[in-house]
Amino acid sequence: MIEVTGLSVGDRLRDCSLHVPAGRVAALVGPNGAGKTTLLHTVVGLLTPDRGTVRTAGEVAFVAQDKPLYDSFTVAETLTLGRRLSTRWDPALATARTAEFGIPLGRRIGSLSGGQRAQVALTLALARRPDQLVLDEPLANLDPLARHEVMRSLMTAVAETGMGVMISSHVVSDLVDTCDWLVVLNGGRVQVSGDIEELLAEHRMMTGPPELTLNAAAVGGSRTEREQSWLVRGAPVADPRWRTRTVGLEDLVMAYLRSPEAAALPRPAGVRS
């Protein structure tokens, strides 16, 4: 569970509120400089906000964007350090994961591939048996195969433990199959926070001839000489001259990012039952 209320950090985060229920796998998406890292650092306690509060339940493990590990340590030494720093350390999980990914315990961290380094960083976090895992761009700089492997192994861990995850990424397609909660951050503000299935069910794309007036709550749209298309939140428009189609996660995220003033937040603000 992550509950953020009225959070402000300089002009990097402005009055952010969101509530991710326990056990959810939340995607945190937004353009460069949106404030994703700042939000995650505040959630895990690395940054003190100017205003607002953060609540998390249980043990929180964080994997930072640059996956800080000691290059001169071997994998075994890295795991030993992890064990010394955690009271909940699961040695069997740590050894099984490194074996599963074919990472030799005697190898120095500095000589690992990007994918192996990501898996060691993830292993260090998972072996602490967290209730909430927070990952800042864990897939950055990884090739498509390694991205898939990291996400697959993460989802296996989630299925086994029921822990909550918040994972930031620029690439929505990496998260489509794995996340069930969406947070869109744009210009330091939370634009969207909600259950992905519910969000997709309550939005639709409406396309119609250019002269029609749309009587619905539109997030954003586009217009050509021949037609106009709008992402609409709420009930579909009854007029049969409008064609309606369901939206995917990428359509939804892009529409909100293009309309920074639009928002899809739970009622009452920031709190879900």
Ligand X SMILES: Nc1ncnc2c1ncn2[C@@H]1O[C@H](COP(=O)(O)OP(=O)(O)OP(=O)(O)O)[C@@H](O)[C@H]1O
The residue ranges that bind ligand X (CB under 6 A) are: 12, 30, 32-38
DSSP secondary structure letters along 22-85: TT-EEEEE--TTSSHHHHHHHHTTSS--SEEEEEE-S-EEEE-TT----TTSBHHHHHHHHHHH
Least Å from the CB of residue 34 to ligand X: 4
Least Å from the CB of residue 28 to ligand X: 9
Query: Which tokens go with 136?
Result: 């800042």
Of 185 and 219, CB closest to ligand X: 185
Of 31 and 58, CB closest to ligand X: 31
Alpha helices in the chain (DSSP H): 36-43, 75-85, 91-100, 114-126, 144-161, 196-201, 249-258
Position 194, amino acid? G
Of 131 and 174, CB closest to ligand X: 174
Beta-carbon count within 10 A of 46 CB: 12
Least Å from the CB of residue 246 to ligand X: 29
Rounded to 10°, the helix 114-126/144-161 angle is: 10
CA dist., res. 38 & res. 9, Å (int): 8
Query: Which tokens go with 140?
Result: 């950055």
DSSP letter (8 states) at residue 180: S
Least Å from the CB of residue 184 to ligand X: 11
Least Å from the CB of residue 41 to ligand X: 8
Torsions phi, psi for 116 (to 5 deg): -65, -40
Least Å from the CB of residue 183 to ligand X: 12
Least Å from the CB of residue 2 to ligand X: 16
Of 133 and 232, CB closest to ligand X: 133
Of 35 and 82, CB closest to ligand X: 35
Of 98 and 168, CB closest to ligand X: 168
Q: What is the dihedral of CA 158, 159, 163, 167, to 10 degrees?
A: 30
Of 185 and 255, CB closest to ligand X: 185
